[in-house]
Amino acid sequence: MWDRAGQDEALQLRGIEFLFAQQTQAKHEAQAKELTEAGAASADASPAMRRSLEAAIAVFANHQANWNLLLKASQFLSVLLAEPSAQQLLPQAVVRSAAEAVLAASAQLSEAQTAAAPQGAGPTPAKLITWLLSLLALLLPAVEPWLRQKQQSQEFVKTLLNAVISRLLTESELPAEAVILKSVQLIPLLPMESWIQQACLDSGAIHSFALARQRVVAKKGGDQLDPTLAKAVQSAIRMVPGAQA
């Protein structure tokens, strides 16, 4: 069922669909049994979760041009990471690999926001990047200890700020409000180390939030921003000392 090398796209797609069904079934079975021995349940779940996460990482690493497959993997990974015990059960190294793989796919896709889906009737760039940004929102808190270590995570943080957030919000064609919202919501999820705050300023990410806000208002003919988006922009700007709205 599974292509361990991660190269066969059709097999990868069937594998993701199988894992999705398996994960959903396992969740329902656990709820039905009302397991009380959490330790035993965790011991059983951890290897399966790790294999599932590694399978999704293989998709992000090997099939960035297949948007249908990326969407399936994103949806599956979102379900997996939303499990209450997922972050405790999964090894930090594997979760970090997932964050790096999702970021790499996000950076590549952010260059293609106005492009057509490369493989037939696939998801739009806006839909796929929204899923990827949602995944990053789940992954960033899980790798916070690693993110605090400048020497280890500096390139990751710079790529997130420069190649994803700033690039998305400064495109000539204004991205969908859902994409803007997801981008803005990532900043407060970063640990506010002084070097990360400075990177936020240097990357232009904070300025891009204010600019995107102005562009959205102008596009609406002077109407106010959606309250959720307006609040998210203000929160992100306030997170960085020295930032100007």
Examine the domain organization and report whether 78 and 192 are in the same domain. no
Average the pLDDT over 82-99 and give the result.
84
Q: CB atoms < 10 A from the CB of 57, how many?
A: 21
pTM (two decimals) = 0.79
Total domains in the chain come to 2
**Which of 34 and 73 is assigned the larger pLDDT?**
73
**Residue 80 Rama label (left phi>0; alpha psi -120 to 50; beta):** alpha
- 111-133 burial code (b ≥16 CB/10 A, e <16): eebeeebeeeebbebbbbbbbbb
Examine the domain organization and report whether 20 and 136 are in the same domain. yes
Structural domain boundaries, residue 215? 143-245
Considering 121, 142, 163, which residue would you say is the last residue of a domain?
A: 142
CA distances in angstroms from 88 to 24, 143, 175, listed in the order given: 19, 11, 35
pLDDT at 34: 41
CA 217 to CA 226: how far, in whole Å?
10
Average the pLDDT over 221-242 and give the result.
72
pLDDT at 206: 79
CA 198 to CA 187: how far, in whole Å?
12
Considering 85, 117, 142, which residue would you say is the last residue of a domain?
A: 142
Examine the domain organization and report whether 112 and 177 are in the same domain. no
Examine the domain organization and report whether 16 and 110 are in the same domain. yes
pLDDT single digits (tens) 105-125: 999 988 765 455 555 567 888
Confidence of residue 36 (pLDDT cuts 50, 70, 90): very low
**Which of 217 and 232 is assigned the larger pLDDT?**
232
Examine the domain organization and report whether 125 and 159 are in the same domain. no
Confidence of residue 243 (pLDDT cuts 50, 70, 90): low
pLDDT at 156: 97
Considering 142, 175, 201, which residue would you say is the last residue of a domain?
A: 142
Alpha helices in the chain (DSSP H): 9-33, 38-62, 67-81, 86-89, 92-110, 125-142, 144-147, 150-158, 167-169, 177-186, 194-203, 205-219, 227-238
Examine the domain organization and report whether 6 and 102 are in the same domain. yes
pLDDT at 177: 79
- 185-203 burial code (b ≥16 CB/10 A, e <16): bbbeebbeeeebbebbbeb
Predicted confidence (pLDDT) at residue 23 exceeds the cutoff of 70: no
Examine the domain organization and report whether 32 and 5 are in the same domain. yes
CA 204 to CA 189: how far, in whole Å?
17
Predicted confidence (pLDDT) at residue 18 exceeds the cutoff of 70: no
Predicted confidence (pLDDT) at residue 97 exceeds the cutoff of 90: yes
pLDDT single digits (tens) 176-231: 778 888 988 899 899 989 999 899 888 888 778 777 777 777 776 666 667 777 77
Examine the domain organization and report whether 108 and 158 are in the same domain. no
pLDDT at 10: 61
Confidence of residue 245 (pLDDT cuts 50, 70, 90): very low
Examine the domain organization and report whether 137 and 174 are in the same domain. no
Predicted confidence (pLDDT) at residue 38 exceeds the cutoff of 60: no
